[in-house]
Amino acid sequence: MAGEPARLLGTWPIGARAPRARTEPATLDTLTALANDLAGEFRPRPLLERILASAVELLDCTSGSICLIDQAAHNYRKEIDLDQGCQTGMVFSLDEGMTGCVARHGGPVIFERYSEVDRGHVDPTDSSYHGAVIGVPIRLGADLIGAVIVFASTSHPQFDVEDGRLLERFATHAAIAIANSRLHAEAAERAEQAAVSAERERSMLQIHDTIGRGLVSVMLELREAQHVAERGGDVTAVLVHAQRAVQTTLDEGRQAALGLGPTRLDARPLDETIALELKWIGANTGVTTLLRVFGDRREIAHDVRIQLVRIVQESLTNVAQHADATSVRVGLMYDPDSVSVIVEDDGRGFDIATDHTRTSGRVGLAGLVTRLAQLGGRVQIDSTRGWGTRIRAEVPYEVRPSGLANNPGFE
């Protein structure tokens, strides 16, 4: 009766013929080669093609297919076809064809003639239409995810239980190939998302640095203009400086938004760049500054150098904006395994315990923590009201990226 398999594996009729002789070493060699392929290939199609071709060859047949099942959608896609012309890439209902039969029975099935398959897709003029067909499920754990189908020609003897067991071994390889491919795709997607997130974080912090620093310069210029006006002086020169600071902020803000960044960070040695940053805060606030370098200069990774400069910039911006300090000094230390910067001021300080929001937000001091954690480093912030603030950032010469959840980088 059409739609019912002539045999279900494991329920063989009395008198069924003995299994055909098959060379076991050849089978083992084929399966071993496939296992080796699984170890280094993550694209599903080449592996599934190899698995299907090997199964068809060992069963002394010439055609077959591998279909992937979507149980939720109640359909399957003909993923791989070998010499069968069964509409590769087409999607069919699980109520149709040999794969549908495998799905309904939940296990391996054999038809003595393909013409008995309910709503089959082989053309009646094809020789396979009158030959035997065998199908086994592809499972991942308890989930049915596909089927391996092999077609016999009219001259091919009927399939037997050993054929089914052999084909199940290939189905297991197919399941591993599909699982590996999915895991690899998921890992690649997560890596891409992490890269996008990291780039978004980097851009956000860079824009914060650039705009925030520029606004501090403008604020200081306007504050000076106010003081000059209160003394009855001419504020023209001060306002011109403020206007230039606004234009510089706009220009650098555009660069940051485009991901270009200030080129001056790349042009000079680290200590010279830090010296320029101290010159900036001295010129804008009048604080006295000091830079000390300890140890022999070492080659520093580009990302490490950029982030150390960013940390100095953020720290000095905070000094200019909040600290009301009279002096600030920076130490640059080249240690055997790491490089550190220390920024100290004698300003008003703050209570880390009660002002923790200053280190837990998305920008500001939290940016210091984020930057160093991304490079495997750490930031230590010590501050006392009325005494000042000390920020120490240490990072290894060799970048060791780490997630913020596992290494917050804050002490």
DSSP for 325-375 reads: -SEEEEEEEE-SSEEEEEEEE-S----TTTTTHHHHSSSTHHHHHHHHHHT
Q: Show the tokens assigned to 276.
A: 């320029």
Radius of gyration of the chain (CA): 35
Give the H/E segment covering residue 289: strand 288-294
| Fold match flag (7-12+19-187 vs 264-411) | no
Percent pLDDT > 70 in the chain is 72
State the average pLDDT over residues 361-386.
76
Q: Is the pLDDT of residue 332 over 90?
A: yes
Show Cβ contacts of residue 201 under 8 Å, excluding neighbours closer than 6 positions. Answer: 370, 374
Q: Show the tokens assigned to 135.
A: 């199908």
All structural domains of the chain with their residue ranges = 7-12+19-187, 264-411
Q: Where are the alpha helices (DSSP H) in 125-230?
A: 161-230
The topology under which CATH files domain 7-12+19-187 is Beta-Lactamase (3.30.450)
Instruction: Output the CA angle 300-302-307, nearest 5 degrees.
Output: 95
Show Cβ contacts of residue 217 under 8 Å, excluding neighbours closer than 6 positions. Answer: 245, 248, 249, 280, 284
Q: What are phi and psi of 204, to 5 degrees?
A: -60, -45
Residue with token string 């001060």: 238
pTM: predicted TM-score of the whole model, two decimal places: 0.50
Per-residue pLDDT band at 20 (split at 50, 70, 90): low
pLDDT tens track for 66-114? 999 999 999 999 999 887 666 788 999 999 999 999 999 999 999 988 9
The topology under which CATH files domain 264-411 is Heat Shock Protein 90 (3.30.565)
pLDDT tens track for 291-314? 999 999 888 888 888 889 888 988
Least confident of 75-79, 201-205, 361-365, 373-377: 361-365
Q: Is the pLDDT of residue 397 over 80?
A: yes
109 within 8 A of 137, measured Cβ to Cβ: no
Q: How many CA atoms lie within 13 A of 170 on its CB side?
A: 33
Cβ atoms within 10 Å, residue 303: 15
Q: Is the pLDDT of residue 10 over 90?
A: no
Range from 13-22, 76-85, 251-260 that averages highest in pLDDT: 76-85
Q: Is the pLDDT of residue 366 over 80?
A: no
In three-state secondary structure terms, 253 is: helix
What single DSSP character describes residue 235? -
Per-residue pLDDT band at 192 (split at 50, 70, 90): confident
Q: Is the pLDDT of residue 246 over 90?
A: no
Instruction: Output the CA angle 45-51-52, nearest 5 degrees.
Output: 90
